Amino acid sequence: MNIPIRKMPLHRKILLALVLGAIFGALFNISKYKLDITYRQATEQKSATIETWERIDFFRSDQAAPVASFGKEDQLKLLQWYRGLENKEKQSLIARVTWGDGRTEIRFTEVQSIEKVKTIAVVIRPIGTLFIRLLMFIAIPLVLASLIVGAASLGDIRKVGRIGGKTLALYMVTTAVAITIGLVMANIIKPGFRLSAESSEKLMTEFQPDIRAKIQQKTAISMIDTIINIVPQNPINALASGDMLPIVFFAVMVGLTLTLVRKEKSDPVVSFFDGFSDTMIQMVHLVMKIAPFGVFALISATVGEFGFDILQTLLWYAVTLIIGFVLHLLIVYSSIVKFLGRMNPLKFFRGLREAMLIAFSSSSSAATLPVNMECCEKNLGIPKQITSFVLPLGATINMDGTAMYQGVATAFIAQVYGHDLTIAEQLTVVLTATLASIGTAPVPGVGLIMLIIVLRSVNVPEEGIALILGIDRILDMCRTVLNITGDAACATAIARTEGVLGEPSAEAISS
Ligand code: ASP
């Protein structure tokens, strides 16, 4: 136990950072009562922090009756109401704050802003954001370069087609299984029927305004358009905007075409991209040196902002999902790794530790992609030609955690609205959640927006998303772990069936 921190393996450092970050975040949790008010008095800008208030009434300067009133439990409602006001309306507000005994009052004139009071746990978030951005900027060049080299070394369109076919089949099957497990759990536990009418009403009023904006973002995805869009009109555009599937398509085409070009012309191109991809991998090593700091900041900010009350309210929903996640992770992935990949599942999970921890802290499959590629190549012995194809594809289209979450959330919301999904509806959910998870971008929170498509397919009111919004971030962290682990499990199986699963290299990422 006496290992000096500097000598500790990386995954331990990250784990330690995660635990410490959670403790720090819980200690400096944002108060549900404290508010920062900036206001103007006699043309001077002032600010005040209020904490033990009993109620706040807002007045327009020219009216005697309050335009809105909030009790001390209504911090979120108050902030949402305030955010929804027009700028002009905000400026003329007067806030009358009443304290405990009902007598002491203070008036704040010309209110300029009202915000939650940020704590140190949340203030350090930019360190985490910086870490994620460093990983994100590696992802696109890494995928491009390693996939060009990978496809050029496969050299055979039939082989690419075969690997592609197997990959897609495995991805689709595991996703459908994930949703089925989720729905079975939802049918057994029935989390929606365990939510009291009072809690559901409270959640609906608190989160409704946030949801309306999200619903407007997403209307429908067309299958045909999605397929057509895989072929980029302009690959540079695709690279610039980080559209993973068109990038994968372009890189595979370049790699395959290189095998048709005269050797003296193609060799320098391949070795350029080979060197470039090694440089990107080296960059992952450098960035991972700050991983513990990044993870600490990300977890601390998330926990610091998280209202633990909501965990209590939505406990059954969270428990249903987490049991589903664990079953999928332990049974489905272990079986794929053991029977198709002929690898000891323990070795698999151990090799993937860093990637799983980064996925959990970042909630982003895209940010985790470089680390996942590195873990798969160095710790699991999956060759670059497989990882560079299977993993970026998986980060974009294979999201078992997201799909299961969309299935369970649909069943949960339907139950809250009073009905269990019929078998036919559940089959529709399996189909639409598979498609919706394919369309989900590998960044935080998008699974929630794509959920709208699944809800619409079985006529469950989409406003119901308000019920689960408050707990989404924490569940996003868990589902992202599943998303990237599924990609790695399939990559292991594909490498084995192609007969190229090798031994781990000496310079494993954790060493
Ligand atoms: N955060 C998830 C991912 O990046 C996507 C989601 O479910 O929101 O894999």
pLDDT tens, residue by residue, 315-357: 999 999 999 999 999 999 999 999 999 999 999 999 999 999 9
**What is the structure's pLDDT at 34?**
83
Integer CA distances (angstroms), 345 to 321, 334, 366, 486, in order: 22, 5, 24, 13
CA 294 to ligand 1 center in whole angstroms: 19
H or E element in which residue 397 lies = helix 384-397
1: three-class secondary structure by DSSP: coil
The residue length of the chain stands at 511
Ligand 1 atom having least distance to the Cα of 446:
8
By alpha-carbon position, which residue is closest to atom 1 of ligand 1? 444
Q: Record the tokens describing residue 353, joined without a space.
A: 């530790």
Confidence of residue 218 (pLDDT cuts 50, 70, 90): low
Select the more confidently predicted residue: 399 or 99. Answer: 399
Section 272-282 average pLDDT: 93
The Cα 404–Cα 397 span in angstroms is: 14
> Which residues have CB under 6 Å of ligand 1?
363-365, 399, 402, 440, 442-447, 476, 479-480, 483
Whether residue 421 contacts residue 414, with contact meaning beta carbons closer than 8 Å, is answered with yes
Looking at the CA of residue 479, tell me the nearest atom of ligand 1: 7
Choose one of 480, 484, 485 to mutate for the ligand 1 pocket test, by most ligand atoms within 8 angstroms of C-beta.
480
Helix (H) or strand (E) segment spanning residue 199? helix 197-217
**Joined tokens for residue 102:** 């009902």
Residue 376 Cα to ligand 1 middle (Å): 20
pLDDT at residue 3 in the model? 58
Atom of ligand 1 nearest to the CA of 401: 7
Structure-model confidence comparison of residues 95 and 429, the more confident one = 429
The amino acid present at 1, given as its one-letter code, is M
Percent of the chain, pLDDT > 90?
53
Quick one: tokens of 463?
Answer: 């406003």
Q: What is the DSSP secondary structure assignment for residue 118, as one 8-state letter?
A: P
Residue 138 CA to ligand 1 center (angstroms) comes to 18
Share of the chain above pLDDT 70, in %: 94
Q: Whose CA is nearest to atom 7 of ligand 1?
A: 447
Q: What is the atom index within ligand 1 of the atom nearest the CA of 448?
A: 8
Return the pLDDT at 2.
Answer: 55
The pLDDT, as a whole number, for residue 81 is 82
User: How far apart are the CA of 311 and the centre of ligand 1, in A?
Assistant: 20
Q: How far is the CA of 157 from the centre of ligand 1 (A)?
A: 31
With a cut of 60, say whether residue 510 has pLDDT above it: no
E-strand stretches of 83-152: 93-99, 105-108, 111-116
- Give the pLDDT of residue 276: 95
The DSSP code for 192 is: G
Q: What letter represents residue 438's amino acid?
A: I
In this structure, of 4-13, 127-136, 281-290, the range with the lowest mean pLDDT score is 4-13
Judged by average pLDDT, the poorest of 162-171, 197-206, 360-369, 378-387 is 197-206
Average pLDDT over residues 163-186: 96
CA 484 to ligand 1: nearest atom = 9
Q: What mean pLDDT is predicted for residues 357-368?
A: 95
Whole-structure pTM value: 0.85
CA distance 143 to 157: 19
Q: Which two tokens stand for residue 64?
A: 């005697």
State the distance from the centre of ligand 1 to the C-alpha of 110, rounded, in angstroms: 41
Least confidently predicted of 113-117, 161-165, 209-213, 393-397: 209-213
Asked if residue 210 lies in contact with residue 466, where contact means CB atoms within 8 angstroms, the answer is yes
Cα–Cα distance, 239 to 233 (Å, whole number): 11
Is 449's pLDDT higher than 60? yes
Q: Which of 180-184, 220-224, 298-302, 414-418 is predicted with the least confidence, judged by mean pLDDT?
A: 220-224
CB 494 within 8 A of CB 476: no
Which ligand 1 atom is nearest residue 364's CA?
Answer: 4
Test site for ligand 1: of 358, 363, 396, 450, most ligand atoms within 8 A of the Cβ: 363
Q: Which atom of ligand 1 is nearest to the CA of 366?
A: 4
CA distances from 432 to 157, 221, 346, 454 (A): 31, 11, 33, 6
Interval 254-282 mean pLDDT: 93
The best mutation among 298, 440, 465, 473 to test binding of ligand 1, ranked by most ligand atoms within 8 Å of the C-beta, falls on: 440
3-class SS of residue 507: coil
As a dihedral over the C-alpha atoms of residue 361, residue 367, residue 368, residue 373, rounded to 10 degrees, the angle is -160
Separation between Cα atoms, residue 401 and residue 409, nearest integer Å:
12
What pLDDT, on a 0 to 100 scale, did the predictor assign at position 511? 41
Instruction: Give the pLDDT confidence score for residue 216 in this predicted structure.
Output: 63
Residue whose entry in the numeric block shows the structure tokens 């027009």: 86
Q: 3-class SS at 284? A: helix
The atom number, within ligand 1, closest to the CA of 437 reads 7
Q: How far is the CA of 321 from the centre of ligand 1 (A)?
A: 15
399 C-alpha to ligand 1 centroid (Å): 8
Tell me: pLDDT of 503 over 60: no
* Structure confidence at residue 506 (pLDDT): 42
> How far apart are the CA of 476 and the centre of ligand 1, in A?
6
pLDDT tier for residue 313 given thresholds of 50, 70 and 90: confident
Rounded average pLDDT over 272-277: 94
**The pLDDT value given to residue 348:** 97
Which residue's structure tokens are 């029927």?
A: 193
Helix count and strand count (H, E) for the chain: 24, 7
Distance, CA 37 to ligand 1 centroid (Å)? 35
Q: Determine the atom of ligand 1 nearest the C-alpha atom of 402.
A: 7
Residue 413, pLDDT above cutoff 90: yes
Q: The tokens of 132 are what?
A: 């994620």
List the single range of 261-275, 428-442, 497-511 with lowest mean pLDDT: 497-511
Neighbouring residues of 259: CB distance < 8 A, sequence distance ≥ 6: 152, 155, 156, 266
Question: Which is nearest to 411 in space by CA: 364, 458, 345, 362?
Answer: 458
Q: How far is the CA of 60 from the centre of ligand 1 (A)?
A: 43
Q: Whose CA is nearest to atom 6 of ligand 1?
A: 447
251: pLDDT confidence band, cut at 50, 70 and 90?
A: very high
Ligand 1 centre from 108 Cα, in Å? 42
C-beta separation of 181 from 327 below 8 A: yes
- How far away, in angstroms, is 395 Cα from ligand 1 center? 9
Is pLDDT above 90 for 119? no
**Atom of ligand 1 minimally distant from the CA of 395:** 9
